[in-house]
Chains A and B, each alone.
Chain A
Amino acid sequence: MTFESGDRVRVLSSEKPGHVRTPGYLKGKAGKIETLIGEFPNPEELAYGFSGIPKRPLYKVGFLQADLWDDYEGPAEDHLYADVYEHWLEPAEGGSA
């Protein structure tokens, strides 16, 4: 696996079309690897009748809400967790999530 718990990561800003499981509001945003969930058939292949093999690592990634929304209403420690495939993540520096 490329990433370990605690690593800072950034979600790719890719506009890849199709059955991607990365929501638009996370693209380009930085967060922190919480944990490796496991490896699963790639949904971007599976959705079109392919095997989805090789399986892809899936991580639970934590984001600070304040990093996602300029006008977030709530305390600075509020978080959002999303499950993001490794091929949608790149290493990132700094930040506090």
Chain B
Amino acid sequence: MSNHSHEEAGTGRTTSPYAARIRAIEALLLEKGVLTEPEVQDSIAYMEARSPANGAKLVARAWMEEDFEELLLSDAKSAARQLGMDPEHPAEFVVVKNTPEVHNLIVCTLCSCYPRAILGRPPDWYKSFNYRSRAVREPRAVMREFGFEPPEGVEVIVHDSTADVRYMVFPMRPPGTEGMNGEELAELVTRDSLVGVDVPRL
């Protein structure tokens, strides 16, 4: 992926034609009374209150507590509520577990379905045609470009979020982290590792 490390720079492009178009549409919706300004602000606040830090907290807790891991893998919304998050969304929220035998990768080929209620906005590269088309067809090449190659003998499973389920990866705890506390562990869990294009590292 040529642009995955530069997406933060992309978020400030308020002069782009897309941003101008969005502003024009927003102004029209407000003018016609379809939306109100407080609703727009609420919606922005909703998105900005969510980030990959939520996913990292869920993963770190599950690494430390077996019961919590079971809950995260069987009923991820309940696990999120238990840590004070608000996972409410019409779609299901499912967490898939990486093991020494299986590595999971998440994509939405049709659009940009992503567990936004937990992780917030997806990165720009996740929405790119490049990632969406290649993650299903050559997942191993895509992961290599992110700097990760599953070890020999590991099966790669791609989850295409085609309908009413949003997926997040539960990555493996890296070796050498035995003495770390929850906060230290959460810092290892990157957004990319929650999508599965990479893994947490020390």
Q: Spell out A's residues near B (CB within 8 Å).
A: 21-23, 25, 37-38, 40, 43, 58, 60, 65, 68-69, 72-75, 77-85
Complex partner residue of A74 from B139, B159, B165, CB under 8 angstroms: B139
20 contacts between A and B (CB under 8 A): A21-B163, A22-B162, A25-B137, A65-B158, A68-B137, A69-B137, A78-B155, A78-B157, A79-B155, A79-B156, A81-B157, A81-B158, A81-B159, A82-B160, A82-B162, A83-B161, A83-B162, A83-B165, A84-B162, A85-B163
| Contact present for A81 and B164 (CB under 8 Å) | no
* Contact residues in A for B163 (Cβ distance below 8 Å): 21, 37, 40, 43, 58, 83-85
B54: interface (CB < 8 Å)? no
Chain A residues with Cβ below 8 Å from B192 are none
Chain B minimum-CB-distance residue to A82:
B160
* Top 7 closest pairs, chain A to chain B, by CB: A83-B163, A82-B160, A40-B164, A21-B163, A80-B158, A78-B156, A77-B155
Are A79 and B92 in contact, CB atoms less than 8 angstroms apart? Answer: no
Residues of chain B at interface, number, CB under 8 A = 21
Q: Decide if B155 touches A75 in the complex (CB within 8 Å).
A: yes
Given contacts A43-B163, A78-B155, 5 further A-B contacts (CB under 8 A): A21-B162, A22-B162, A38-B92, A78-B140, A79-B155
Q: In the assembled complex, how far is the CB of residue B181 from the closest CB belonging to chain A, in whole angstroms?
A: 34
| Residues of B with C-beta under 8 A to A82 | 159-160, 162
Is the pair A73, B136 in contact by a Cβ cutoff of 8 Å? no
Contact at A83–B155, with CB atoms within 8 Å?
no
CA distance A85 to B162 in the complex (A): 10
Smallest Cβ distance from B125 to chain A, in angstroms?
Answer: 19
Question: Is B183 an interface residue, CB under 8 A from the partner?
Answer: no
For B164, the closest partner residue in chain A by CB is A40
A73→B165 contact, CB < 8 A: no
Known contacts A43-B163, A69-B137, A74-B139; A21 and B110 CB within 8 A of each other? yes
Q: In the complex where A23-B110, A25-B136 touch, is A80 in contact with B164 (Cβ < 8 A)? A: no
CA distance A40 to B164 in the complex (A): 7
